[in-house]
Structure 1
Amino acid sequence: MSLETAEEWRSHSSWYRRVLTAERVGEIFAADPRSLALMPGFLTAHPPSRVEPTPWSLADIYDYLFTHTHRQTTMIPRLYPLPDHPTGPARMLFTKPVEIGPGGQEFVVHAWDPPDGRGHIAIGYPVRDCPDASTPDAARRLRAQLSWASAVIIPANESTRLGHRRWQPTVWVADGRGAGIWVGVEGVAGVERGVWADAANLLRTTLPWWPRGLRERDAMLMWRPGDDPLAITPGTADRDPAALLDVLTTDSSAGLRHTIAAMVRDIEYELCGDFHAGRDRYSPFSGLTHAAFPSLDPQPPRPRTAGEAALFLHQEVANPLIAARAAAVAGGHPIAHSAYVINHDNRHHNLIKEWIERLRPATRRDEIGFQLALSMLPAELRPGDHLAPTGYHVHPDWPDCWVVSAGETVIVTCGTSVPARGVLRQAYLSDGAAFFRDSNGATWPLPYPQATNTDETMAQTLSRLLLDAGADVDDPHSAVPTNPWVLHQIQALPLPMVINADEVNAPR
């Protein structure tokens, strides 16, 4: 049983913050015709203050409505504790997995029974952070599956800081008190934004919190009040490091096993490596306890090398689903982390035409790298749709490049360096593709760093290649002064544009 006082529960909740303006108070009363008539009486009982510009809280309004409507609670959010709220904690009833709709989002639902007699509360945790499972619509659809729940709460993948208090999770609340009573959020009727402490303030018990990346299905199903936190290997539906292990076979080499083990550690740290003392940004408080912490190697991993990425992407995997999953999880940094789209808008430029003419049909089509390229095709051109078949291509002088085509569209993977020689002589920049010619007359896709795509980043990339066409443009140790003329051209001219080294070096 919880020993916290009512004031301690309230201290983290949004209901009691005095932040409502007169306009917001009017909107809340106007949301229900039954309450609008009570607004003059509320303002008489709670007159505006000359000292405080926002003297009202939601608690003021809901307590007033409860008292002056003969306890008609349909005008009051389900998560708000009524003035006569019992002091005891809620009881956990059960946990269960629930899938919603055609999207296949899966939740583990914890059912709680607060002692106020207004119905059960469901808290749904998205399994492995499955896509589109932390939205207002997901909360609405989940509640439609749970007829026994008076309200459903799911994480919103946002954070809220109340005043100077600590950060806490934002949640979506699908309230079952009646459709059409209030507008809701983001166009979804019946769903409101709240904070974690709003639920804890009603249930008056410490609730388990699973951080992003640690929402493992069975761990959430077996949790019961009082359980110790579990060590969980990080992973999400989109980035589950275990998918890389499926690439291995009994014949896999020691080098490949080492590479995949290093990549698994790298991805685990990308997901949860910034946790402090095993916790995400949320410090425990009355109502929130971490139910899991990441099981991580205490030694942070070093960045993957180009050789490791190449070995992985060149692996032949007969099952395209396994290959596609591994490609999606690992990506291709630093040799194939991005892609250029060649289409009818840009394929006629000389640099691109020359490069395409050198491509040859691939003899090994089941490399993971081709699945990475396929994932970068526009959705309407991916295999299985009713359009042109996909082709697989390789470049004779660049084995670490994977090229696929569908109709006139060509997808070219590119990393942070290319096997160019000398210096950049000419570059062509268009919407979706960028190529350049080196001192040897060969044409190449323009390498690009993982940094944010900005004019300054592009100007720095070109400045490096003007000095060394084979430079790793993501290497912080090889940065050069950004050429001001190049930056000016990029900022001043629309795409497509051509940058000539002779013009860069011309006296001004």
Structure 2
Amino acid sequence: MDESEDHQRRLGMGAVGQLLGVPRLTVWWWVKTGKLTATGVDDGQPWWSEDDVYEWALDPRSTRWSGRVPITSWPPMPYNTAFDTTVELPGAVALRWQTRQGPVHLVWPLTNGRRRPHREWAEQLAPRGDGAVVVVSGGFSMRHGPELKALLPALPDRTYKPTWLDLAGVLGQPVPWWPMNLRDKQLLLDWKPSTDTVTAMAVPALDTGALLTMASTYQEGHPAARVLVNLARLAHAQAAGSAEQDVEIVEKANLPDGVLHIAARPLPVPDADDIDSTQRRAGWIDLLARADDLARRCVREGTRWDGGGDLPFSNPQQIEEIESTWAYKWTQRLIPTQRTAAFELLAEAGEQGDALVDPDTDAPVWRSGGNYTAAMPQRLPATAPLAELILDGPVWIRTTDGKVYPAPRDSYYGISWGYGGSGPGALALLVDALLDDINAQAPADINGAPEGLEALLSRKLPNHTVLTRAQLEAARRGEPVIIAVDDVDQDEDEDDE
């Protein structure tokens, strides 16, 4: 026995069966019939190395077992490989090469495609369990380039991570690579090994077709047209910038020449001009009031972009009318309204329910059964100062004229109390702003509130706790605030009006 054999992992019949995913009895039969020859014998027991088992499984003279062998153990085949075709999959496109050992499928998930379990792709591409299936993921390694995840088609629960060097060695040619934002279905389906690097429009995260079509229905200078065109340009510029960044990362990776070929580069898109926030808000208010399907699609895309940062209301919350007196009285003031594009914030298309509106804030409310979903205002239209903060679901604001409003909130951050975290931090910032200006925009931050105010709202106060203006101002000054039992539910039976 030579020195190299001493350092090999020795596999018995059971371990060979586990490696190839077959019963031990099958391996015993292979040995008995002379199909599988042992690497060596130790104390009368045959053993095999992993390399020898995989080499035997890939030998064309034996049964074809390539779907059970990682591509990292396939031999280089520079003269026995040919590109075959492209295959359209749900949410992806696969490139297929035919090799001496079997087909190799390289799967490209599409930019905005609906992702499917990798196992489903493997079953569709290799129903007989042969060959190799490799999926390009979204990560990067400076040593190995874009990350790959492979499945054994005959044993799809087993995955492993090959490199582009492994793949190029098996295929005997540079392997094409597309940045994530350039994985357009038609671009991939049209690819051939003779195709030069193309310059193409990166696929944006938004449906910019809907945005630009809607913009064309307005006069050029209308706020809605300006905001829609601007949002489309922002989405295209972001996609192009992301694709260009991916290309730069790949070019800096330590990959040998002839391993990876950049198949596409992004078409440059200039940065979008900034639009005054008042113009943006005016444009969205016009769109929210429309009832056509195109407007609904645009609102949907706008909220996908930034959660509805320029909308007068966003951040939907569930409200139960039986939760408190404040919630019940709020539901009683709601009035029926037409289902406009604003309700895209609250309900799926075709969902059954009632379209309502809060007349005090103009915020849309969706009622389905006994459940209410309301978009929260980003600022209050109140005409009187803050009188009380009511810790409830949601948090409520009472003004000195007796009116109660859902507490305004930013399109991204939520507000809450009772722990040390972002929710109480955002609520403390909001209270600090409303104490000075009841019409203040809900802050788009979670840090920076007065320490005493944040400490008060981080306390584990029970639901229905009512904090008066005097208590909130004292906390803001850093003075201790005592919460008496009478501060809880104290106004449950009072009239708001």
Same fold, TM exceeding 0.5?
yes
Aligned position for 1:343: 320
> In structure 2, what is the equivalent of residue 357 of structure 1?
332
Residue number in structure 1 paired with 2:118: 136
- Tell me if the contact between 2:211 and 2:298 (Cα under 8 Å) persists in the aligned partners: yes
Q: Which residue of 2 aligns with 1:468?
A: 437
Q: Identify the residue that residue 395 of structure 1 maps to in structure 2.
A: 358
Q: Does 1:240 align with 2:210?
A: no
List per-residue Cα deviations over 1:157-199 (Å, max 9, x = no partner): 4x253xx62652343x3322x24xxxx6xxxx25555555543
C-alpha distance in 1 between matches for 2:16 and 2:108 = 30
Q: Is the 8 A contact 2:76 2:171 kept in 1?
A: no
CA shift, 1:428, in A, is 3.6
For the residue of structure 2 that corresponds to 1:504, the secondary structure is helix
Residue pairs, 1:302-341, within 5 angstroms: 302=274, 305=277, 307-312=279-284, 314-315=286-287, 319-320=292-293, 322-331=294-303, 332-335=308-311, 336-341=313-318
Contact kept, 8 Å, 1:343 with 1:410, in 2: the verdict is yes
Task: Report the CA distance between 1:303 and its aligned residue.
Answer: 6.9
2:53 counterpart letter in structure 1: L
Deviation at 1:450, TM superposition (A): 4.7
Tell me what 1:5 maps to: none
Aligned residue pairs, count:
425
Structure 1's 493 and 204: CA in aligned 2 closer, same or farther, altered over 3 A? farther
Superposed, 1:361-372 pairs within 5 Å as 361-362=336-337, 364-365=338-339, 367-372=340-345
Match of 2:151 in 1: 174
Following superposition, the deviation at residue 486 of structure 1 comes to 3.4
> Aligned match of 1:112 in 97, 112, 121?
97
> Which protein, 1 or 2, shows the higher relative CO under an 8 Å CA cutoff with sep ≥ 6?
1
Q: Residues 155, 465 of structure 1: CA spacing in aligned structure 2 closer, same or farther, 3 A cutoff?
A: farther
1:66 to 2:45 alignment: no
Provide Cα deviations, 1:461-490, integer angstroms capped at 9, x if missing partner: 3333333332223457x9853343434433
**What is the alpha-carbon distance in structure 2 between the residues aligned to residue 41 and residue 446 of structure 1?**
75
User: Does residue 299 of structure 1 match 2:271?
Assistant: yes
Secondary structure, aligned partner of 2:247: coil
1:334 positional shift: 2.8
Aligned CA distance change for structure 1 residues 475 and 142 (closer, same or farther; 3 Å): same
TM-superposed CA distance for 1:250, in Å, is 4.4
- 1:146-165 equivalence runs, <5 A: 150-157=131-138, 159-161=139-141, 165=143
For the 8 Å contact 1:96–1:109, the answer to whether it is kept is yes
Distance 1:337 1:119, change over 3 A: farther
Query: Using a 3 Å threshold, how does the CA distance of structure 1 residues 136 and 437 change in structure 2: closer, same or farther?
Result: farther
Structure 1 residue runs without a partner (length 5+): 1-20, 45-59, 99-104, 376-381
Q: Which residue of 1 aligns with 2:490?
A: none
Contact 1:139 1:174 in 2 (8 A): no
- Which of 268, 276, 289 is residue 236 of structure 2 equivalent to? 268
In structure 1, distance between residues paired with 2:377 and 2:166 = 46
Root-mean-square deviation (CA), in Å?
4.1
- Alignment correspondent of 1:123: 106
Which residue pairs with 2:367 in the alignment?
Answer: 405
- Structural mapping, 1:423-462, within 5 Å: 423-430=385-392, 433-451=394-412, 453=414, 454-455=422-423, 456-462=425-431
Q: How far apart are 1:301 and its partner, in Å?
A: 4.6
Amino acid paired to 1:123: L
Change (3 A) 1:276 1:472: farther
What's the offset of the Cα at 1:265? 1.7
Aligned residue identity for 1:356: T
Q: What is the distance in 2 between the residues matched to 1:234 and 1:252? A: 27
Larger radius of gyration: 2
Local SS of the residue matching 1:398:
coil
After TM superposition, list the pairs within 5 Å mapping 1:67-106 onto structure 2.
73-74=65-66, 77-82=69-74, 84-88=75-79, 90-98=81-89, 105-106=90-91
Could you tell me how far 1:130 is from its partner in structure 2? Answer: 1.7
Aligned partners of 1:423 and 1:483: how far apart in 2?
23
Distance change (3 Å), C-alpha of 1:218 and 1:494: farther
Identical amino acids, percent of aligned pairs: 18
Query: Taking structure 2 as the reference length, what is the TM-score of the superposition?
Result: 0.70
Among 460, 465, 469, which residue is 1:501 paired with? 469
Deviations 1:207-249 (A, max 9, x none): 233333332221222122342232214324xx32222234345
Aligned to 1:8: none
C-alpha contact 1:421 1:468 (8 A) present in aligned 2: no
Structure 2 residue matching 1:208: 3-state secondary structure: strand
User: Shift of residue 417 of structure 1?
Assistant: 2.9
Structure 1 residues 251, 194: CA separation in 2 closer, same or farther (over 3 Å shift)? Answer: same
Distance 2:377 2:144 in 1: 40
CA deviation after TM superposition for structure 1 residue 317, in Å: 5.3
1:294–1:67 distance in 2 versus 1, CA, 3 Å: closer
DSSP-derived class of the 2:441 partner: coil
Q: 1:127 to 1:275 in 2, by over 3 A?
A: closer
Distance 1:194 1:303, change over 3 A: farther
What letter is aligned with 1:426? E
